[in-house]
Structure 1
Amino acid sequence: MENEIEQAANSMQANGESELADLSRDRAAVYGLLARLFREEADAETLEKLATLPQSDDSDAMSEGMRLIGSYGKTSEDPEGDRLTELAVDFVRVFIGHGIDGHSAAYPYESVYASNKRLLMQQARKEVAAIYASCKVAAQPSWKEGEDHIASELEFMQILCLRGDGQQQNLAKQKEFLETHLLNWVPQMAADMKRFAKTDFYRGLACMLEGFLTLDKDFLDTACA
């Protein structure tokens, strides 16, 4: 976890003169960090490291998210106690809810947002599983929640980013997956996260996710032009 956060922090501070290979590694680090934060609750080490994320006065969603997450970590006077309990409760509130229907939480599955009845295990899961297979990406040990879980889709993008130096075909695959899958449902999930979250940590994570995906789309649009 320490390496993921340090790599992501370095990536966010990288200048615009990086070579394409460096940019691909930078992007992979951020995708990996986001996948980790959506996969499970934050622990004391995670919270402490996130407090070191670089801050800026920019008004974009990613900068706002980093400010919220960073400030939450910095104001955590007792990371071993109340704050970790608060985050664990908020994780359940935001992503699991009370389980009565598909509108009780920001369920982190594409199937929920892509199906009219907001159900799990729907066509979206089959589609992304087929895409992973077509890209020769085997199911990862961390994909315990399913192929269309947000953490799995983010980790898939991380894997593609780490393949070589950003060859045009690989970049085109990233662009297509980002546009036809992640950006097709994440904005709705992010809006639900902000609605259900009681902590700035998960409100910030929603902003950071949506903001980064928007920035990455801009990058891929330019790279694939």
Structure 2
Amino acid sequence: MKQVEVRKELARARAGLYRFLGGLYIMEVDEETLANMKQMQFPTDCANEELAEAYRGLEKAIADLNNEDLEDVAADYAKTFLAAGEATGVAAFPYESIYTNKKREIGGRTEQETLALYALHGWEPSKDMFRTMNDHIGLELEFMAVLCEEELLSCQTDNADRAAMSSRDQNEFLRKHLKWAGAFCMDISKYAQTAFYQAVGKVTNVFLEQEREMLAMGGAIWDIA
């Protein structure tokens, strides 16, 4: 298979995973989402053994879930990401500004920077999407999906310069605006009580680590042949 075809497939798959993970942080799992997840196949035989193991954990967590479990999963979502029911107010708060602001204040300059980047790429969160701060992890992952789709379109139109620019945009956004994701995922491992959100956090963390390594290598992997 030609390198450009490999790149197309990879960009499409990466966009799909970014969008899938982002959606799980935006909203609690409902019956429709659970049914769709049970139809998904994860690449549990991928070359990155740590990521393959994380996929296997998520696959098992999904397989073990039933509709009767969704109330518990929703309660875990509220506790893990919103500190619901926690007198101490500790949680894996899903906002970049919380993790990058010394005062742990939400919003401010960080949120405005993400909003400006979204606008620069002509992207606005769907009106149907839960409205939240623009530096929410779910929106930042969704934006990475948008950037991957820009790369895919560039490959489909044989625009090598635009594809290279898209790769650089992805790398820059990961380095500047998703650098906090590792600490966030560590907090998920501390506060999540369900196997499902433990597995979601693990996949997110390992996948983003792989993304950083791949994108940092730049042209060695991504250039169109």
> Considering the TM-score relative to the shorter chain, is it more than 0.5?
yes
Percent identical among aligned pairs is: 28
- String of CA shifts for 1:77-122, please: whole Å, max 9, x gaps: xx222x1111011101110014879961100000110111212112
Equivalent residue letter for 1:86: D
The equivalent residue for 2:160 is: none
Higher mean displacement: 173-182 or 127-136: 127-136
> What is the distance in 2 between the residues matched to 1:18 and 1:99?
49
User: Are 2:165 and 1:169 aligned?
Assistant: yes
Q: Which runs of 4+ in 1 moved over 6 A?
A: 99-102
Q: Which ranges in structure 2 are unaligned for 5 or more consecutive residues?
A: 156-162, 221-225
User: Are 2:204 and 1:222 aligned?
Assistant: no
Helix, strand or coil for the counterpart of 2:67?
A: coil
Aligned counterpart in structure 2 of residue 130 of structure 1, from 116, 137, 146: 116
Equivalent residue runs for 1:52-201 within 5 Å: 52-54=40-42, 55-56=44-45, 60-76=49-65, 79-81=66-68, 83-98=69-84, 104-141=90-127, 142=129, 144-163=131-150, 164-165=153-154, 167-182=163-178, 184-201=179-196
> What is the distance in 2 between the residues matched to 1:223 and 1:197?
35
Equivalent residue letter for 2:41: L
Higher mean displacement: 151-160 or 162-171: 162-171
What TM-score, normalized to structure 1?
Answer: 0.81
> What is the distance in 1 between the residues matched to 2:20 and 2:56?
16
The verdict on how the C-alpha distance between 1:58 and 1:222 changes in structure 2, with shifts beyond 3 A counting, is closer
Q: Which ranges in structure 1 are unaligned for 5 or more consecutive residues?
A: 1-15
User: CA shift at 1:61, angstroms?
Assistant: 4.2
The verdict on how the C-alpha distance between 1:46 and 1:179 changes in structure 2, with shifts beyond 3 A counting, is same
Equivalent residue letter for 2:201: A
C-alpha RMSD of the superposition: 2.5
The verdict on how the C-alpha distance between 1:45 and 1:134 changes in structure 2, with shifts beyond 3 A counting, is closer
Q: Size of the alignment, in residue pairs? A: 206
